[in-house]
Amino acid sequence: MELVAKITLLFAAFGAIAGCVFEVAPIPSDLSGAFAGIIIFFTIFYVAYKLAPIALKFTPEEFPGGRWTGWTAFKRGFSGFFIMWLVLWIMTHTILVS
């Protein structure tokens, strides 16, 4: 499997974790809760960004394009992260409410 596909799967896995954490965490339902949710979301995304080279054992120079930066991680991994976050958040909420 090529490196970009592995990175996408890693970000999707972290998005799934973020979706479950977002629903289970005791976050207030007012505006401060929305900010707390955004902080949780981007903190887990940042952890995935920092863990990707370590977990997949690649150096930033091996990445296609020659650099592994926050912007490249955002472009390559955010869509998978966001979709999995949204799906697992909705699914966890549905299970907990029913």
Q: pLDDT-derived band of residue 81, with 50, 70 and 90 as boundaries?
A: very high
Where along the chain do its domains lie? 3-97
Q: What is the pLDDT of residues 9-39, one digit of tens each?
A: 999 999 999 998 888 877 777 667 778 888 8
User: What local confidence, expressed as pLDDT, does residue 13 receive?
Assistant: 94
C-alpha distances out from residue 98 to 39, 54, 94, Å = 27, 39, 6
85 vs 75, residue with greater confidence: 85
Q: What is the pTM of this model?
A: 0.85
Q: Does the pLDDT at position 61 exceed 80?
A: no
In degrees rounded to 5, what are phi and psi of residue 30? -95, -165
Positions of E strands within 1-98: none
In the numeric block, the tokens 């930033």 are attached to: 60
**How would residue 98 be classed by pLDDT, with cut points 50, 70 and 90?**
confident
